[in-house]
Structure 1
């Protein structure tokens, strides 16, 4: 099964080394902006979100004045982000807002593409007439036949952000696009090999290795501390006092049940904060304890966005599966890898071996390894994880500039 995201949880900021403090100082304003965009995305389900948005009044609604909507649409960035209603959850908002911000673009719902807008002088126009050469980015299979709309220009390129393990993505999706974004090296290799089969790339689609980034919620705490909004001072992390977070949200493929079983077998383990909203995880919890959980298990009904990235950004010591793409984000110098896994016999358009069997025993052993680890070593690896988060963030930002240049190429 897919990687368990086991995170060491603290309320304070990442390890307080001068290099990490400098990274925060250089990036926190931008990270605050990204947090704000994510809030707008999850709160406002059917609005146009410009990358410059700083408050709710910057959102454009279906009933906003046409002049205001047209003023935004006429900017015609290199790439527009298609984000319709119904998918604006933690995960897709994290994706969409990262692209919106770093492409200096906007996230647009379907009504923007369907509406004929009337300007102040009485002239009428549409999004497709205004921006025929702005590419449109689709996330996974959420296209909603936009590419088949009668007004969709032949000059308009399609960019695909795929999660390559998804069965909903069919060959027809990959055959229709012009540029495919690969968030991991494993994804890049799979997509490139797939296109290189005979007669399998009818549009000459290009593949761009982008890596990925996400928001960092701890920036809110740092910002509050700097503005005197906390009761007391912000304490540094204490890697001698352990707690663990496992967040699988609504996914049944992140071994939440085996995490709970591990804590059932090891009552001596530190407290586990489990965030789940799927039936399998909830059923396992009820089967093991029902209304009498042990003191070291704190079960929450909830969701997260990008588990590993947000954990690294927060300065957590991340434990994940020793398999791609997880081992591209975390290694044994910046976290803890779970060994002893075997691939499932799964299959998608981009191949197989996306899912892995992670035995309960292997999960328990990884926690035991952390408990045996010197606190300074825990802190060192966690700090390296923060540095890797920022390094990957910088790579992602540069790759967005590359994407813009690719779109403008004729």
Structure 2
């Protein structure tokens, strides 16, 4: 028996081109996020599940850039890298090549608050020239926004992540949230959006959340408002909407209502959750392999399934 497995995350759900056929053909659908699992289970209840397809929430993991970098350093250099001073407040925002990172709201907030701590803004040059060059003069004249354009090597980017203490990651949408997860692995304090899946990775006890309203873009198949046949109905959506004031209010709250020690404690909780999710993901993959073996070997199915929790 061939076992058909479909791998999905929240990012696949917001694609306009999503079609139901892959879901109906699969025996198992793996979801990296709770949002993905919740929406797909709802979709099967809405549209039917003729194959009795299982939706499995696996969580996920991300390359630990900080750990990789430390392995290449001397003992003293690695110790210096690990010793973060949360009293020295400066923020990091990396947009890369994505328009969905809340960059405009971040810049609008920071450029209106000259008393805010420094912000290092990393963005692809092509994206910056096409989408954010209207900020050029204001960034140049500001005293607290430092612009970094162009590509970085993996080693250089790993160093940026590893050295970061405060990350601004107010995404409008994420498939999984790898750059948020990389910040968690770096033992950093993270501000992200109070919408799924971002708030699955960071909670008020492990960072800070920007108030957001959830909606959908046009014809997103799983967004709740699509007119397409078989599209998911009656869900809140996949897109976080927020303004510069929402970002500013969160930053002000962090700076005024928490101590450096408290922020460090929350960063430690985020790091612990990163490791928990990594172990959880590995455990789910072991269960999946056992399930696939059982379904592919009918004579051994009962024995194998007795030794593995039903996924």
TM-score for the superposition, normalised by structure 2: 0.74
Distance 1:195 1:356 in 2: 24
Pick closer, same or farther for the CA change 1:387–1:233 going to 2, 3 Å. Answer: closer
- How many angstroms does 1:233 deviate by? 4.4
- Map 1:354-369 to 2 at 5 A: 354-369=238-253
Distance 1:237 1:407 in 2: 44
Q: Highest Rg: 1 or 2? A: 1
Distance 1:370 1:211 in 2: 28
> Matched residue of 2:140: which SS?
coil
Distance 1:262 1:385 in 2: 25
Q: Show the counterpart of 2:68.
A: 220
Q: Show the counterpart of 1:344.
A: 215
Q: Show the counterpart of 2:187.
A: 315
- How many angstroms does 1:405 deviate by? 1.9
> Matched residue of 1:181: which SS?
strand
> Matched residue of 2:263: which SS?
helix
**Higher deviation after alignment, 185-194 or 303-312:** 303-312
Pick closer, same or farther for the CA change 1:391–1:258 going to 2, 3 Å. Answer: same
> Matched residue of 2:94: which SS?
strand
1:387 has 2:272 as partner: yes
**Contact residue 276 and residue 282 of structure 1 kept, 8 A:** no
TM-score for the superposition, normalised by structure 1: 0.57
1:287 has 2:172 as partner: no
**Contact residue 330 and residue 385 of structure 1 kept, 8 A:** yes
Distance 2:38 2:78 in 1: 49
1:398 has 2:288 as partner: no
> Matched residue of 1:194: which SS?
helix
- How many angstroms does 1:320 deviate by? 0.8
1:265 has 2:112 as partner: yes
Considering fraction of residues, name the structure with more helix.
Answer: 2
Q: Show the counterpart of 1:195.
A: 44
**Higher deviation after alignment, 286-295 or 389-398:** 286-295
Number of aligned pairs?
Answer: 254
- How many angstroms does 1:293 deviate by? 4.6
**Contact residue 59 and residue 277 of structure 2 kept, 8 A:** yes
Q: Show the counterpart of 2:308.
A: none
Distance 2:290 2:82 in 1: 44
Pick closer, same or farther for the CA change 1:253–1:177 going to 2, 3 Å. Answer: same
Candidates 78, 86, 90, aligned match of 1:239: 86
